[in-house]
Amino acid sequence: MSEMRQDIRNYIVENFLFGQDDLEDDTSFLDRGILDSTGVLYLVDHIELTYSIKVENDEMLPENLDTIKAICSYIERKQTTSAQSVKE
């Protein structure tokens, strides 16, 4: 989890905040104006590629994607579900 958290954090800081790292795990990207609409889509690309998951359209919600914490738990949920479906 902490590795994932670090990776998401680095991704946001490097690509959208350009080094400005006053970002907490529960800082809202929307409230702080960190991402624009294409930024969210790039973030989704990054998550899909790095964590081998597919973000469905109806999962593109601030609840899943708007903080580091939300993203990590979303990815974990997805990975658990897909691991279960593989087992089944």
List contacts with other proteins (CB under 8 A).
Answer: 14-15, 17-20, 30, 33, 36-42, 45, 57-58, 60-62
- Given phi > 0 = left and psi -120 to 50 = alpha, else beta, which region is 19? left
- State in angstroms the smallest separation of the CB of 57 from other proteins: 5
- State in angstroms the smallest separation of the CB of 83 from other proteins: 26
Pick between residue 46 and residue 69 the one whose CB is nearest to other proteins.
46
Pick between residue 12 and residue 72 the one whose CB is nearest to other proteins.
12
72: CB partners within 8 A, 6+ apart: 1, 4, 5, 8
Amino acid at 80: T
Pick between residue 61 and residue 83 the one whose CB is nearest to other proteins.
61
Length of the chain as a residue count: 88
